[in-house]
Structures are given as structure tokens and as C-alpha cells.
Amino acid sequence: MFGNLFEEEDEGFASTSAKTRTAKRCEEPPPPRGRSNLCGIKNQGGTCYLNSLLQTLLFTPEFREELFNLGPEELGYLEDKDKPGAKVRVIPLELQRLFARLLLVDQQSASTTDLTDSFGWNSSEGTNQHDVQELNRILFSALEHSLVGTSGSTLIQRLYHGTIVNSIVCKECGNVSQRKEDFLDLTVCVCGVSSLEEALWNMFVEEELFEGNNLYRCAQCSRLVTAAKSAKLKQLPPFMTMSLLRFSFDFAKCERYKETGRYGFPLTINLRPFCEQTDADDSDFTYELFSVIIHKGGCYGGHYHVYIKDIDELGLWEPPEEDSKPKTQKKTKEEVKESSQQKLQEDNPLSIITAIIAQESSKSVLLDQLGQKLMDKTGSSWSKSFRKHYGPIGKFLQSHNDIFILVSNGTRVGLKANPPSPVTDASAPSEQTMTSEPSAASDRAASDLQPEGNKKPKPKPEQGSHWFDLNDSTVTSIRESDIEKQFQGKESAYMLFYRKTQLHRPSEALSNPHYQVPSQFIQMAQDENQRLQQMREEFDATNNTVELHLHLAPFYKMLDGVLQPVSKEPSGSINLSFDCRKTIGDLRITIYHMQELWEGDMALTVAKSLPAGLHLYNTLTDDSVSLYSAGIHTNTDLFVWNGKEVCGVPVQTGAEWEPVLLTVVRPFLSEDVEEEAQNGVKCETNNSGSENVGAGLKREARGFAGGATLGEVREALGEPRESLLCQEHKRGKGEDQRTGEGGGASGWRVFPPDDMQRTFKELSLKDGDALLVLEPDSFDSSVFTRNGNVVTVATPSDCRWLQVEFQPQTKGGEEKQEEQRKKVKVPATGNMLLWEVKQRAIEELQLQEQPSGAQYCLRQVDCSGKLLPPVCEELSVRDAGVRLMTTLTLCPGNAPKESQLFLHFTVGSAPSTGMEMDIIVEKTFTVKECLKAMLDAVGLDGTSWHLRRLDWCEEVGEPLMNEDASLSELMISSGETLVVTEGLLPPKGFLKLSVWLYVDMRGMETDCSHTENSPAEQKMQGAETTDGSCAQSISLSGGNMAKLQNVGKVEISDDATLEDLKTQVLTLPTLQDVCVPITSFLRVWQMEGGQLTRILRGQEVTLRKLKLTSGTDLCVQGLLKEEDLGPKQVLLKIKMGVPGERSYYPPEELVWDASHDSTPRSLRTSLAAHYGLSPDSLLLAKHQPEKHTWEEISSWTQQVSKKKKKKKPESLLGPPFHLRDGDVIGIKNLLIDNNRDFITAEDQQGQQRLREQAEQRRKGEQAAASNGAGKTKSRKLEVPLSISVGVFR
């Protein structure tokens, strides 16, 4: 019951690349039964206690057959359970179906989801920890109630109920007083007792004397006398259940603990000494043990599994692995275990988990059992030993995915070094990303093909009733002697089930799972087995078939050491579907049959399609190895050739010869245009990829072998030895970009002569790198310039231009503006000043005729069409970062100098598109000087202004606090937007708070309510519409007829008082017309997550003491009377239930004073005084809106003992209720309302939504959520276990 050990981030870890997965995978069917031929039960996350008890009931043949004898004429049909008026006994029906599946359906484990749904449990109940002894009583009680009125109504009574007679004998008159007591199970003491017999002796043989101060009042003597009390078993049931009291309470430490001392119990027990009547045969008193439910862990969590004796011999028992191995092998394993134990003392979780997996026969471990095996190995859990240093175990496995691998569709974890082979081991899971487990038939076929000497003789199953360990989904054989191991320790027996030895089974029931099973369930199991078999066959065929891409050598040629297809037609590639369990030899024969004209040897080599071409790696030489073992997976490329050469050229294989695709760049002169265009060579005029037919550079993609040297590449390109090879010079962010940005020029680094003997791998050349090839006479042109070992490629002359577009400011429509837009190309170079570009554009656009004094500037445009700040005209094209062959916009306005900044600004609020104003200021201006310049520009004066920046979401951000700092010191750059904000610069320690208005919707529904609101309240409600469409609103949850309206933000010092805050809130524009007599008529809430959480108290308390921080959301609410709440006064919303209905009257507000008494009795008294009722007639409950449930508030006080005082009642302000402002309290008047259920129809709908959401999360997760073990985590609150049963009386 540790839940899912891989809960935290639900992320899992990938075992191999996603490319190895097949494109289409059908859902993996449940695996068939194991070698024991018994079916386990799936754990829903915390239901191991339920699984253990259900397996015990299944292997109680008398109970199972009595349950099967109840037909649908008594229990009804499950199909009718949702029909109105139908009385369908769902729990026994689901139990019948589960038992039938466990007996007859061929699957490793069955699901209990349908059964737990019939219990009325939700999805979260499956992860809660509960006690199996408690479940035993509750489940039997639910069955008894479900079977009322049927022939099985006495089923539990006949099989499990016994009688104890308690006797008190007066020592003076001999009078005997007896009282009978029914029992379902015997609860026996463990503390201070060494065995079950000793505990029973103390219970039923030892007498308790009433003497001294503890005398007994005899009814016959009519006085206090000495007496002896004893108990005896009067009536013995066919099945005796013993519940061991393993858990005790330490009153000194005030905590629970588990008794782990040795406690023996016999396999056969005679109860004659403990019975009242002893004159019958021994067979009437003799019981044999057939089930032991075991608990491992502590009193706050653990895991249950069960040892069961197979009475009907339904399973196939085989000796445990330790017994079936030779003595020498055992000795070797013991030595290995001892050495591994020494290594495990180093507290290395990696070696521990590796050793656990390595010791498994299948070399893999179920994920949900890894934590259990880790505890077995080390004696402590992962959370206790390693979580603090290594994190969750799932994260640990994920971080070591080079060692661990997910197998069997993610349900098991194995070692990556030796994943389990699906060909040799039928029980070993296969890799999740490779293939699935082969079918059993294929395994048998594979084993039949082995030589006789290699076959391992399978141990023959032994006859008779044997013991099995049923641990959730896993069933293993155990020896009867293994039961003694559960006498003591953290893993020890918790419940014992005995059956009378006189209960004999008929011979036809032995080894016959169909015995006494109704025909409809046999048919159901047969249909399900057929469906599962079909699913397994489909899954087996799908997951063992790989798609291979065959590349045939005759359709390829070698070019520069790279395999390239002869033609663009895909005739040289063949797709082949093949069974990965077959061998390489089988694949070779299949290809031979496909290629009838193939002559000579055939080699199959793993290939890979790279950008440069096809490359070969390892050749498959062992024909006896399966494709799975050879690592061949779906989408693998195989090259079919003779293993030596292709078209007479030897082929280099291996990773060191992986080809590289380079971009070969050559000079491209204008006279070569026509010739090269016919050859289809791509021409580019600069490094940005623009095409042109003029002079420039031509680029060609060529692939070369990765082991080739630069000299060999130069020779392959047909270049003379004097030619230079250059690599494009890539600059970092901090380097000078003048040669590469402005003007479009590019820089190249010349390879020195020594590099001619180095390979691509040594030079770190990779796919996509450019290689410039220059002959010595290339430097005669003005395009190429060499300076040391750097070659600069200038932009060709016909590409040296800038396009200038004139965009005038007009007030006409768009059509008129489009007409006045003009474009012109201006010849330009990288060294040309932008001022000259502007003057030439003005001349060609004939703008000299514009009014004298008209100023223009050049601006770039971003990808969204927005104008960028004007460029500095004192700089050259290259220095300003302007690329040639781009467009500049000529706009009215001044251009900034190199020492100036171009800024946008707005007054009062965040700017909208096109509403900013522009200004040019010096970089050395201080914030104060910049503010003055902006105020002068808009004609404002005064000193109550300050500047703010915009934040990342284009809203008004933090103010510029240092007014004496220069703009350059504050890292303000051209194009930024500043906001001129009214008001003095706020000092440090100011808070920025968002304010919302509480709007009561009931006050607006005039048709339903005739009460008049106060003027203040009416104006506050009217404020909802004064803010226009920009206002935001939030509807409150929990059934509140109210919503919150955003009214703005306030800035206030944290030294201000709550009264100051209320005063400033009332100055907001939205609340200007609200009339509040004094601030005490205003209530201020603090909000979290859109919900009201607490009321701010104390008019004179500072905001710092109230622990308010900047960004906090506040909500103001107008009141009809003054309010000044004390620190222990709680504002509650109370709702009285409507008698006879599942609804409530409208809520009211109640201020409950909990300063002197915060117990439930105090709250009940306050509510009784409010309603004028008796406190004893009220039933209270707190509403939990997140869960849509009601938590009943009881005034019950625990009685510890007669001598001790009553335990102090817990405060409602603390756990588990934590009452706070705004909580909803439901009230039931029991004098007129018999319905004690607080749930409404809305709550039920909300719970249904939560269940659906939880179910969706459960289906989306790979494992159930963890119970959250760990020291730093608080334990989950224990919830009572219950099973919902319908009424059948």
C-alpha cells in the first residue's frame, strides 16, 4: 500500500529513441496467467488490503460456492441497476463476476474497479490506506444487508459467526450469571504474548477475580462479593478468523506503534480447551490454517499480501527457485549474495537497485514492486534512506537511463546492459520500444528447435494442496515452512483464517475451476478468453513485425566517398515487413527470393540516410541471431551489396567515415550566368540567400567522406594546389559586426597549409558549413580582398542599393495615402553615410518643393510593419547596421545624432497603438531633465510628475526612482516608451495593490427581493457599469450570489494604516460617487486565487503588520452598519436547511466571537441564540466548496478513562475544521427536519464533475498517485472505511 513509487512528476523515462517505435501499436493486452495458473488482482494504488481479503474469500470454496448458488432471480441483473424501481443487489453480483474472472479468465491479474464502484467508492478511495480487519467486518456486514430476503441471507451467519459465553460465578453462593456474545472474528492480543495458544489460554481459560476493592454485586446475595469471571467458546463456526492486535498505542510518547516481536501460531489447532462443551469428537474442535494475511510496514502505512493454501488444487505448484537449484549453484549464489551485501553497505542506491534487478530470473522487476524489494534488501524504504539526497525514485531511474530501461510496455524496469530476450525466455518482458513478448507458441517452437542437450527439464508440479503467495498481481509458490518467517518482524502475520478439518472437498472439485460456477459466468469467461486471445495474436503480430528499408547496391554509386542514388526514382529502395523473431539467415533467404537475378555473395549492412547521402555501419554476419537480438528495429535501413565494393569502388564503413554535407562557394562572374543557369546551379549574391543572375557567388551542396582530408577535397573539386580554401568566419555577440552587417559584406578565414592534411572530423566541420574556393587570380577583382588570413567578400556593384519609401503624414483616407506613397532605389555602399542616402532619395522623390524647413528622417521597419526609431544619419550604412537591398522609410521628423536618444512617451496611462509621442533627448540627460523636456513638449507644468517604464507585458511598470541618474546609466535605449505619471515619486516601501468591488447580485434582482438597499450599497452596485467595457469581473464559487468587479489600483505606503487604505480606495475614479459615512462602513477582504480569504482587522494597524505585499489583491464591500472585528471574531455565512428539501434558505452573516471559547458548543450556542432555538436541536456542518462536501461539526468529547479528566475539546479554529472568515456553515433544525444529510443537488453535480476529472487524470497517468511517504510531508488524514448498500428489506 505504498501506492505508486513513481508518482512525482509522472514523467517516466524513455528507454530508447522514439524513432525505434513502430508507427502503429495496438494496445497491449493483459498478459496471460503465470506458471502457477492462478490469477492475481490489480492494485488500484492502495487496495492491497482488499486484494488480500478477496483472494482469501475466493480460496474459501464453501463461501465461493454458496455465493455462486444465488441466481439472477434472487439478485437481479446488473443491466437493470440503473432502471428506476429495480432492486439489483450489485455487490454480490459484482463479487460473483470477479470470482468467475479469477477462476476462469486467462489473465495475469483481474481488476476490482467494478466491485469498488459498487461499494460507492470514488477514484481517490482506491489510494487511501485502510485496515484489512476493519474491511473484513464492513464487507461481511454489506453482504448480509445485500442478501436480505434471499436464500443466502444466512451465508455469513452460517460460515463465520460463532458464540462466546461470558460467565461470572459468585464465590459465596455459587450463583452463575451468563451472557452470550456473537463474534465474527476473534481479536487476540499480541503484546506480551508469545503465541496464539497462549493468547487463547488467557482469554478462555484464565479467570479474572473480582476481589479487594474490585468486588462484584451478586444478584442472589444482594451485596458485593468475591467472584470469578471467565469466557468460553460456546458455538464454533466452520471458519475461524483470528485478528492479531499488532498495533498498539504508547501513552508515554502519545503515538501508535507496531508490535514486531515473535508471535507463533500453529498450522493445526485444537480448540477443545477453550470451549464450554468438550464432549464431542476431536474433529469438531480441530481447525487447519489455510490463509495468512501479512502486513509489512508500520502503523501509518504499509503493504498487504496473503499466503493461501490451495484447498481445491487449482494452481500448479512448483518448488521455489532456491529448492530446484543444485547445491553448488546455491552455494555460489550465497557467496554472491554475501559479497553483494558487503557492497550494499556503502549506501549506494545505484548498486542496490542494480543488484535487485540482476538477481531476478527475468532480469527485470515490476515497477510497483521495486520499492518493496528495496525494503527487503536494505530494511528501510527509499523515502527514509535515499530520497533526501537522490530525490524520488522515479527521478533517480530517469537520471540513470543509461543503466535502466523500461520494458513490457513500461510496467517493468530492467538493466540496459542485458535486456531480457524475448526469444529465449517466455516469461521475460521485452523492451517497450523494440518488440513485445512473443507468443507462448513461438517460445515453445523455439525451444523445440534447441538440441536435446540444451533443453532444460521443467520441474513437474507436485500433487496435493500447496501454499501460494498472492501479492496483488503476482502469484508465487512457497513452502509451508515459509509461514514461520511471518511470526515476527516488520513483515508479519496480521490475520489468520482457519477451517474445520472435517470440511472435506468432493473429488470432482479438485483441479476443476469450473466446479459449481454458473453457466452464464462460464460463457462470459469463454467470450473474454476468446477476446483476449485475439488481442494477443493481433498484438503479437503487430509488435513483432518491423518495417525495414532495403537499399540495393545496383541502384547506387560512389561520389566523393559518399553513396548516392543513381537516379531520383525510388526504385532502389524496397520496404519489407519482417518478423523480428526470425534470424538474419531467414532475412537473407527472403531477400534472395525477392531478387531472383542476384548473383554472388549477399551482405546485409545497417545503413543510415544522412544529409550528405547513405552511409554504412556494421554488417550482419551471424545468420543464427534473431533480428531482435541484433538490434534491428522498425525503420532500420539495410544496404544489400556484396560486402566489398559498389560499382568497383571500395566503401568505407563505420561512424568515423560518416559523410559531411558542405556548401561549396565559388566566384560567379557575369559571363558564366547563361552557362551555369543551363546547368541548374543556384546563384546567390550574398550570404542571406538572395538569388540574382548577376555577378556574385554560386553555392553548391556537395557531400564528402568524414575521413577525407582538405587536400583530398580540393583535389576532388578539381582545383589546383595554389587555390585557397576558406571557412566562413562566424562572430560572437560581443564581436565587431561591421564587416558582416552593414552593406552585406562577409568574412572568411583561410585554412593554413597544415590543415590540408587534417580530416573533416579533426577540423570540426559539420553538415551545412560553407567552404569558399578561390583561385589566386580571384583577388584581381574588387569583390575579394585578403588581409592576412581573412578574406572579405564585398557586395557586387549591381547589388549596392537601398530602397527608400516616402510615407507622408496625411489626414485623408487610405487610398489617398497610397497614392502619395512613392518608392525609389538609391545607389549605396556600405561606407556611404545615411545622410547622403536621404539627400539622394529627396532629390529623386522631388521633395525639394515641400515647404522650407521641412525635416525628414530615415526609419527601418520590423517584420510586423512597425516603424523603428530613426537611424543616425551621421553613421555609414555599415556602422548603422543597415543591410543593402533593404527598404528604408522616409518620414517627416528629425533624426537623432549619435549622442542622442529617440524615445516614445505618453501621459497618464499605458500607450495604445499610434498614440505615443516622440522626443529626441541627449543620452547624458538625467531622468529629471528628460521629464522636463517631455512636459514642455506637451505644455504641462508643475512638479507632481514622475516617469515610469513599461513592463514586459506593455503595462505601466515601476517608476524611475533615481531622478539624478542619466538615461545611459539606466540602460535606456532608442525606441523605448516612457510614461509620464501624475503624482510625486513614490518613496521606497510603497505597495501597489489591486482593488476589487464586492457586488451583491441579490440586491439587483428586484423581482425576487423587495428590500431596499442603502444609498451607499446602491451606488456601489451601480459602480459596476461606470467602468465601461474595460472592467473585469469574477463570479464567486460556493453558491454565493455575488461577483467581484475590478475598480483599479492604489499605491500606498506600508506604514499607512488600514483606515488610510480605505480612505485612498474611496478616491478611485470608479468609486467617486459612492457615499460611505465613515470608513468603518467599509469591509476590506484579502484575496487569493480569486477567492475571499480573510478580513483585514484593526483600523489603526499598519499594512506592514497586516503582512500585505505589493501585488496583493484586495476587495472592498459596503456595509449597512459599522464593523470593527476583533482578532478572534470570525465572520461566518450561515444557511438554514429547508425542512424536507435538499436546499437552504438564503445565507446570512454571523459574527462569532471565539476569543473565549472556540469549541463546537460555543458556535452552537451562538447560532441557537441567533435563531431562537435550543442548542441541542441544531446539527451543524462546514461546507467544503473545493470537494462539494459537508463536514459535520460534532460537540462530542472523548472519554479517556474514568479516572482521567475529559480530553479538552478541540478548537474549531484549528484542525480539522480551520474555520475562517467567509466559511459557510449549514444548519439543520432536527425538531422539524429529519434529513441529516447536508448534500444538495449542486453538490452532487460538483462531485460528479470531480470524479470525471479524477478518472481522466487516472487514465492519463501510467501509475496511481503515491501516498506521499516522506519525513517532510504531513500524513494524510485517515478517512473512515464504508461500503454503500441499497435497501432490500
Rounded Cα–Cα distance for residues 489 and 923 (Å) = 79
Rounded Cα–Cα distance for residues 1029 and 1025 (Å) = 8
Q: What share of the chain is helix, strand, coil (3-state, %, to 5)?
A: 25, 30, 45
DSSP label at 861?
E
Return all residues near 52 (Cβ < 8 A) that are at least 6 apart. 132, 293, 294, 304, 305, 306, 470
Q: Which residue do the cell numbers 438564503 mark?
A: 1146
Rounded Cα–Cα distance for residues 311 and 557 (Å) = 73
Q: In the beta sheet, which residues pair with residue 1045?
A: 997, 1033
Rounded Cα–Cα distance for residues 1235 and 1253 (Å) = 30
Cell for 117?
A: 464502484
Return all residues near 851 (Cβ < 8 A) that are at least 6 apart. none
Q: DSSP E strands: which ranges in 585-629?
A: 603-610, 613-620
Judge whether 1176 and 1189 are in contact, CB under 8 Å: no
Q: In the beta sheet, which residues pair with residue 250?
A: 255
H-helix or E-strand spanning residue 1248: helix 1241-1260
Cell for 78?
A: 446488473
Cα→Cα distances 1232→950, 1136, 1192, 1235, Å: 63, 12, 19, 9
Q: What is the DSSP string of 410-467?
A: TTEEEESSSPPPTTT-SSSPPBTTS--PPPHHHHHHHHHTS-GGGPPPPPPPPPS--E
Rounded Cα–Cα distance for residues 451 and 160 (Å) = 56
Q: What is the DSSP string of 891-951?
A: EESPPP-TTEEEEEEEESSPPPTT--EEEEEETT-BHHHHHHHHHHHHT---S-EEEEEE-
CA–chain centroid gap for 742, Å, is 50
Judge whether 142 and 126 are in contact, CB under 8 Å: no
Q: Which of 1033, 955, 947, 970 is nearest to 998 (CA)?
A: 1033
Rounded Cα–Cα distance for residues 560 and 551 (Å) = 19
Rounded Cα–Cα distance for residues 478 and 332 (Å) = 22
Residue 651 φ/ψ region, left for φ over 0, alpha for ψ in the -120 to 50 degree band, beta for the rest = beta
Residue 53, exposed/middle/buried by CB under 10 A (0-12, 13-18, 19+)?
A: buried
Q: Using N-to-C axis directions, what is the helix angle for 48-58 and 132-146, rounded to 10°?
A: 60
Rounded Cα–Cα distance for residues 1061 and 26 (Å) = 64
Rounded Cα–Cα distance for residues 1067 and 1230 (Å) = 49
Judge whether 991 and 1103 are in contact, CB under 8 Å: yes
Torsion angle, alpha carbons of 379, 384, 387, 390, to 10: -50
Rounded Cα–Cα distance for residues 1081 and 264 (Å) = 73
Cell for 767?
A: 553538415
Residue 303 annotated to the active site: yes
Rounded Cα–Cα distance for residues 858 and 837 (Å) = 9
Given 39, 130, 170, 303, which residue is catalytic? 303
Active site residues: 48, 303
